[in-house]
Chains A and B, each alone.
Chain A
């Protein structure tokens, strides 16, 4: 899930409490009640997309699709200019008596180039927004979220957050395990 989060990032030393679950429904219910009680839920990590979770967390709609459209139009423009320049302006070639400048002939290359630009552009955007660069290793909050576990991460603010009550909520919701975040790197 691509989110636009600028304020805090992963690698900082902010304290977090994690609740580990094995069921998407309970995860969603606990997240909802935490949000209602005003806890600063950092994020919820799930092995697959859970419906409604994005709404509960208040995740804003990603602007990736708008970026994709811009990339597609860039690809389209470059494909059409490349083809019309080479086959009409620069070096006209007669092939099977077809006209030099004819749009139907351009469809396949235009289509492919638009898709190519979109795909590369979107992957590039994804890496940049998530700050995934060469030589950088991501700190996965709990390796089990890549398999079958669900993790709710809540920011703990010194002096403000009641850690005992928070872990009670986690446990009452059916958490398998409640712990502080560990940097696994």
Chain B
């Protein structure tokens, strides 16, 4: 509502300095180095496993940590574009000033998708199944629990699904970015809704397709690692993990930009407050999904379902299991509830770091326990055909790939920020967004 003093919409560009670039290079180089050291120094010795079985573990761990790190950053970039899509469809106005941050985050999508495809391809074809238990030779035929899933869980169909889904999402994301950038150049003014409408129509299509395909994508990438186990809420749980991380990354990047003097007078504490509310709300949403999945399994006590939580809760992964809840629920809940906390960059940085580490740990917990398990013949004594491998901990390989992907992600996002103005200057809702006010 127009009462404040006149708003100056400037053509503001982000400058990616060499100093900032160096950080990404260091992260990438260090990460690659650590991961390689981790890989070549990993000589597991586990009681009860033969030499030949132990021989499989380094490759499994390498593929597993590549997959979950790639998945984590792919989720962040995908959910960033999904946030734009949702806000666009809801006709939201407040988010427009920070829209370019989300657009830049989604630039990572192609790299994430390629990483996933390569890891899955290597797993399925080069490593005889790799981290996917169901893809080992003879497992689908001899295992009565899996035999009926053959029409869905088979190598070619798996890769076709992965390629078409991620391909379509990457295409939609790039179109939405393109419309938004064209708007800055070609729009005739704030009342011109040509590009807004285009973006709106594509968002509607994208949202529907994404809703269905993301379900299958999550079944494929993470749920099929534990092929015997299934949970109908697992997709939404993955979605919540990715979304909480995406909102946190956007919140931190916006603080970084504001601290460096960008977007002055355009993005205010009010926007930070609302982004902070999103971080808080989606963290609570994640907890809700986590609890919903866990409680039903806990109460029902069905062996096939409990098998997923047994090693995580009482086995060698129990530290990560409880650590997960503390970082993703307890810390944001108590530290981020107050209004002042969301407007304070220092508290924001602490809580943001906790949430990001927490969700990284969450994805680690989804993938690694199942990925490290060995396949064996189905017998009466071992009806699932799995030899459980105890937790190998978080070592140089996991940290190394985290650092590598984090550096790559930062580089791509910062590069993405330089490609257009830091906020859409001709978006129909930009003035509404600049005056955004969350009240006292």
Contact = CB atoms under 8 A, between A and B. Distances in A.
B308 to A, nearest CB: 15
Nearest to B300: A96
A28 B440 contact: no
A86 B225 CA distance: 41
DSSP majority for the A interface?
helix
Interface string A122-147: 00000000000000000000000000
Contact of A28 (B3, B291, B339): B3
Interface string B1-22: 1110000000000000000000
B294 A104 contact: yes
- Size category of the A interface is 20 to 34
Interface of B: 1-3, 291, 294-295, 298, 301, 337, 339, 437, 439-440
Contacts of B295: 104, 107-108
Interface in A25-67: 25, 28-29, 32, 49-52, 54-55, 59-61, 65
Contacts of B339: 61, 65
A69 B3 contact: no
User: Sorted from nearest, which 8 A-B pairs have the closest CB atoms?
Assistant: A54-B440, A51-B437, A61-B440, A25-B1, A104-B298, A96-B301, A107-B291, A52-B437
Contacts of A105: 298
Contacts of B440: 54-55, 59-61
Contacts of B2: 25
Interface string A92-116: 0000101000001101100000000
Contact of B1 (A24, A61, A65, A98): A24
Interface of A: 24-25, 28-29, 32, 49-52, 54-55, 59-61, 65, 69, 96, 98, 104-105, 107-108
Contacts of A69: 337
Contacts of A61: 339, 440
Nearest to B340: A61
A60 to B, nearest CB: 8
A52 B1 contact: yes
Nearest to A57: B440
Contact of B439 (A28, A32, A54, A107): A54
B294 A28 contact: no
Contact of A25 (B3, B291, B337, B439): B3
A3 B69 CA distance: 49
A55 B294 CA distance: 45
Nearest to A107: B291
A51 B298 contact: no
- Residue with the highest number of chain A CB atoms closer than 10 Å, among B1, B294, B339, B437: B1
Contact of A51 (B1, B291, B294, B337): B1
Nearest to A54: B440
A54 B295 CA distance: 43
Contact of A49 (B294, B298, B337, B439): B439
A50 B339 CA distance: 20
A29 B3 contact: yes
Contacts of B294: 104
A59 B3 CA distance: 19
